Amino acid sequence: MKYEQLAKDTIAHVGGKENVSSVVHCITRLRFKLKDKTKANTEALKEMDEVVTVMESGGQYQVVIGNHVPDVYQAVVEVGGFQNHSQVEETEEKGSLFNRFIDIISSIFTPVLGVLAATGMIKGFNALFLSLGLLEETSGTYQILNATGDSLFYFFPIFLGYTASKKFGGTPFIGMAIGAALVYPTLSDVTATEPLYTLFSGTLFESPIHITFLGIPIILMTYSTSVIPIILAAFFSSKVEAVMKRIIPDVVKMFLVPFCTLLIVVPLTFLIIGPIATWAGQIIGAASVGIFSLSPIIAGIFLGALWQVFVIFGLHWGLVPVAINNITVNGSDPILAMMFAASFAQTGAVLGVWLKTRKQKLKTLSIPAFISGVFGVTEPAIYGVTLPLKRPFIISCIAAGIGGAILGAFGTEGFIIGGLGIFGIPSYISPTEGLNFAFWGSIVSIVVAFILGFVLTYLFGGVNREEKKDETTERKPVDAGKTNVKVEENLVIASPLKGEVIPLEEISDGAFASGALGSGVAIEPTEGKLYAPVSGKVSALFPTNHAIGLLTDDGAELLIHIGMDTVQLNGKHFTNHVHQGDVVEQGQLLIEFDIDAIKNDGYAVTTPVVVTNQVPLELMTTNQTKLQAGDMLMQA
């Protein structure tokens, strides 16, 4: 591990891992919350070669590292055994209800998706072997593979009990115990006996009663493969457990907390939570399939075309639990099936770029992106190739929409949550009908999407047009008031803000004031709009939108940090208009921020603008004190 020794030394000098309550990072520094700050050896930390400086602010002990802080943070987490919260820990409770829902769903399902896909692939290939006559259902090989494929999904409540409890702040093993109770085999066998009586007879919720708990009737449901009941039970369990921890003496907490929690939560899950959650799942499943059935082709176009956009913004997590629930309730899911062609459309577009471009760097990026795309991993293709070029990404979305329309027309459905890319093909084999019409629709869709993505990108992707634009040495002039300055041989940095220029050494943040993070100036903004001071690429954009890094075509790295310690605002009062990896033009609006609101919350808006890497020439700054956005600020 590259930064292992640095991580060990840093942890030792902050008082050891037992002195660390939590650690997160921002764009340049590690931010520790220490139990006792007097145990930290600040001077020793400052003397370390890879530490820029050490500061204390906002209740945090800040070790300034520089641009490679994410890598150092990972090393600190691994060496110290800390929870990997990164920057999310302080922001996950903020934001809209929808964003919090997406965060909860992604946190619960992400840890198991790899194994879920792996077992789904095994089950899918087993179905393929059966359809091709290579295996028989009675063979031992088929049964062992089927057991492996079914293992996670059948006992899904146990796995989700762990991840959901961890997300909600409960003890993961208590969540697992609740999940195990839901799929306990003996209870499943009870439903084969004659019922004692029936509740809600003649209604949609008619339920035979086979057993009771303390005389209260229990409506037994099939909880294997279920999703919603265990998530709700884990949430309720975390609340009960928190109460138990407060009222039970420390000396017996270890066993009495789980004892009391399980005695309360498991019966209530069987009596109330489980049945209500199951009925809710059935309603969600019926509703989603019903909406889809109104027009499968339109649904296919919509989901196929926008799937990659959903992935970029993390919105696809809202559909994953719906799909899993549909498979649980109905045995199949048409929702996620509609996006199957998207990765092939993206891969075809990358192939078009690879064959068309004359730029060696882009060719080099396209080869691994194409290979990973074949197997369904499209992030390298999206962020490294098609999205920066814009047109190929749009073309891939169009091709994916047409592929989705074909899937809808064929009535293709997924029967398992399987692999991605070519490994996802077995997911669409019907357990009862085998290689049916709908399955062949999935094959047609991916072939069509791939060919369209390739051909349209090759012919109309504008690849060489973009390259020509990138390779030209002509730059747009900087609006410097009465003087227009052209960037030809020298690096000219325009003012990203309207406001008053302040010498860097006069600001309150010691890391910036010392010049340790780079040469530059600071601006006291009078307007809450941050514009690109140069043309280049967004190399870093912190999730809280308070800081942004830009990389110019000349190789200069700029860091603009809006305000002092504004990371503590967790994104409040900031609105971004670009994303990491975007190519921007000088003068383009990057971020908007509310100056008055930030000040009212107790933070300064003084904004350092620094060049973080070594510039061949000494920076010359403007002699003006008040600037408009776009006026010349610095020149190398």
pLDDT at 609 over 80: yes
Q: What is the pLDDT of residue 132?
A: 82
Minimum mean pLDDT range among 110-119, 241-250, 525-534 = 110-119
Q: How far is CA 600 from the centre of its chain?
A: 31
Host H or E run for residue 529: strand 529-531
Told to judge if 397 belongs to the known catalytic residues of this protein, a careful annotator would answer: no
Q: Count CB neighbours of 431 within 10 A.
A: 13
Minimum mean pLDDT range among 268-272, 318-322, 354-358, 398-402 = 318-322
Pair (300, 265) in one structural domain:
no
Q: What is the pLDDT of residue 82?
A: 82
pLDDT at 476 over 50: no
- Range from 247-251, 470-474, 504-508 that averages highest in pLDDT: 247-251
Supply the mean pLDDT for the chain.
82
Pair (73, 214) in one structural domain:
no
What distance in Å separates the CA atoms of residue 307 and residue 284, rounded to the nearest whole number? 21
From first CA to last CA, the distance across the chain in angstroms is 36
| Cα 380-381-382 angle, rounded to 5 deg | 95
Pair (285, 299) in one structural domain:
no
Which has more pLDDT, 417 or 456? 456
Q: What is the pLDDT of residue 187?
A: 81
Last residue of a domain, one of 238, 257, 291: 291
Distances (CA, A) of 549 to 21, 583, 615, 633: 29, 12, 16, 17
State the residue for tokens 């899911």: 333
Q: What is the pLDDT of residue 256?
A: 94
40 lies in a domain?
Answer: yes
111 lies in a domain?
Answer: no
Pair (231, 267) in one structural domain:
yes
Can you tell me the mean pLDDT for 257-270?
A: 94
Instruction: Provide the pLDDT confidence category of residue 539 given band limits of 50, 70 and 90.
Output: confident
Q: Which residues sit opposite 627 in a β-bridge?
A: 499
Q: What is the pLDDT of residue 380?
A: 65
pLDDT at 483 over 70: no
Q: What is the pLDDT of residue 42?
A: 87
Name the residue among 569, 543, 562 with its Cα closest to residue 610: 562
pTM of the complete model: 0.50
557 lies in a domain?
Answer: yes
Can you tell me the mean pLDDT for 370-379?
A: 77
Q: What is the pLDDT of residue 616?
A: 45
Can you tell me the mean pLDDT for 166-193?
A: 87
Q: Which of 11, 23, 24, 26 is catalytic?
A: 26
341 lies in a domain?
Answer: yes
Pair (421, 446) in one structural domain:
yes
491 lies in a domain?
Answer: yes
The backbone torsions φ and ψ at residue 457, rounded to the nearest 5 degrees and listed phi first, read -70, -45
What distance in Å separates the CA atoms of residue 59 and residue 627, rounded to the nearest whole number? 34
pLDDT at 478 over 70: no
195 lies in a domain?
Answer: yes
CATH code (residue 574): 2.70.70.10
Minimum mean pLDDT range among 42-46, 285-289, 337-341, 512-516 = 285-289
- Range from 37-51, 144-158, 313-327, 506-520 that averages highest in pLDDT: 144-158
Structural domain harbouring 394: 295-469
pLDDT at 474 over 60: no
Q: What is the pLDDT of residue 472?
A: 40
Q: Count CB neighbours of 367 within 10 A.
A: 12
Domain tally for the chain? 4
pLDDT at 262 over 50: yes
Two structure tokens written together for 374: 């074949």
Half-sphere exposure of 534 (CA within 13 A, CB side): 30
Q: What is the pLDDT of residue 97?
A: 63
Last residue of a domain, one of 27, 54, 80: 80
Pair (453, 576) in one structural domain:
no
Pair (256, 351) in one structural domain:
no
pLDDT at 73 over 70: yes
Instruction: Provide the pLDDT confidence category of residue 507 given band limits of 50, 70 and 90.
Output: confident
Last residue of a domain, one of 469, 497, 519: 469
98 lies in a domain?
Answer: no
Q: What is the pLDDT of residue 455?
A: 95
Q: What percent of the chain has pLDDT over 70?
A: 85
pLDDT at 87 over 50: no
Strands across the sheet containing 583-584: 583-584, 536-541, 547-552, 557-561, 607-611, 519-525, 499-503, 626-627
Pair (446, 520) in one structural domain:
no
Write the pLDDT tens digit of every residue in 546-597: 999 998 877 788 899 999 888 888 888 999 899 888 888 888 999 999 999 9
Pair (569, 622) in one structural domain:
yes
Q: What is the pLDDT of residue 485?
A: 33
Pair (210, 252) in one structural domain:
yes
107 lies in a domain?
Answer: no
The backbone torsions φ and ψ at residue 195, rounded to the nearest 5 degrees and listed phi first, read -70, 150
Pair (304, 450) in one structural domain:
yes
Pair (427, 522) in one structural domain:
no
